[in-house]
Amino acid sequence: MTYFWGILFISLHAMVPITLTAVGEVVGETGGLFNIGLEGILLLSAFTGALGAESAGPTVGLLVGMGTGALVGLLFSVINTYWKGTQMITGIGINLFAMGFVAFGLIVLGAPGFHAVPAESRLAAIHTPVGTLSPIIFVALVIPFLVHWFLNRTRAGLILKAVGENPEAADVAGINVNLTRLLATTFGGVLAGLAGAYISVSWIGSVTKGISAGRGFIALATVVFSGLNPLLALLGGFIFGFFESLATWIQNLAGSKAIPWQFVAMIPYVVTLLVVAGVIGRVRFPKALGEPYKRE
């Protein structure tokens, strides 16, 4: 029985960065921009969030992480709206930069490759009789609902969907396509930034050059799985988190030859492939996703 609570709590913790990042990207992709640089944002904000926490406390750390995400998201959107860049390449550039910057930064801070965030700089956990929870988990549970409400119940949400689906029609209706996309993707960056800072300040409590561990890409996969529905992104995040915790659990269980942990770890990616291939449900994406918008 202790296994149940253990796995549940780890899954909830693991769910957070994926759900937050995915929900942010849902907003961004609804507007039409495809940000492959989420991994880079996670990495960068984990690092900057840790620094922020150490200098001024955990809350500041989280805010610094969100700010980092906002900056990168802003840079990405400006390049790909007003400057008509190529989204794929910008994203790859962000990832490369982040890899180098964080690795470099870690060495400069003194410990090559690894940096633990001291306990007093970490976010206070909530203690329950069966385990600890991070407060951010609740944030991650609530935000998808808020975003869902925003997308479906406000005019701004409608405008965002129009921009992603048919920017020409939105333009004709007097909507500022570039500005809308910019705001959406920057918001996505903020959530990804929170996710990254959460990893270093609240959950794992350290920064390594691989701390993001591909979660940015898992988030992209979750976005596909969700079909741009924030609630499904929450579910997807939990499922991926569950398999991640399962994989860790199996790996730590010496003598478990039932299923090698590597195959368990593969499951999220295989599932995404199946979803994307149309086997599981039919997913419909905004028609203008990934295309730069040029007014004729």
Q: Name the site residues for other proteins (rule: CB under 8 A).
A: 34, 36, 79-80, 83-90, 92-101, 103-105, 107-108, 112, 152-159, 161-162, 165-166, 168-170, 172-175, 209, 214, 217, 220-221, 224, 260, 262-263, 265-266, 269-270, 272-273, 276-278, 284, 287
Shortest Å, Cβ 189 to other proteins: 15
Can you tell me the distance from the alpha carbon of 59 to that of 18, in angstroms, rounded to the nearest whole number? Answer: 20
Please give the distance of CA 51 from its chain centroid, rounded to a whole number: 20
Of residues 146, 150, 181, the one with CA closest to residue 164: 181
Q: Cβ closer to other proteins: 133 or 213?
A: 213
Q: Cβ closer to other proteins: 129 or 174?
A: 174
Which H or E run contains 179?
helix 177-198
**Sign of torsion over alpha carbons 87, 67, 180, 295:** negative
Shortest Å, Cβ 128 to other proteins: 33
Return the number of other C-beta atoms located less than 10 Å from residue 259's C-beta. 12
Shortest Å, Cβ 284 to other proteins: 7
The secondary structure of 58-113 as a DSSP string is: HHHHHHHHHHHHHHHHHHHHHHHTTT---HHHHHHHHHHHHHHHHHHHHHHTTSTT
Shortest Å, Cβ 99 to other proteins: 5
HSE, CB side, 13 Å, CA atoms: give it for residue 226: 32
**Maximum Cα interatomic distance, the chain, rounded to a whole number of Å:** 64
Q: Cβ closer to other proteins: 122 or 209?
A: 209
Q: Cβ closer to other proteins: 12 or 288?
A: 288
Shortest Å, Cβ 224 to other proteins: 6
Q: Cβ closer to other proteins: 107 or 130?
A: 107
Q: Cβ closer to other proteins: 129 or 278?
A: 278
Shortest Å, Cβ 280 to other proteins: 13
Q: Cβ closer to other proteins: 103 or 133?
A: 103
76, 94 Cβ separation under 8 angstroms:
yes
Shortest Å, Cβ 17 to other proteins: 16
Kindly report the CA angle at 294 between 35 and 191, in degrees rounded to 5? Answer: 25
Can you tell me the distance from the alpha carbon of 270 to that of 254, in angstroms, rounded to the nearest whole number? Answer: 26
Tokens of 108: 């400069």
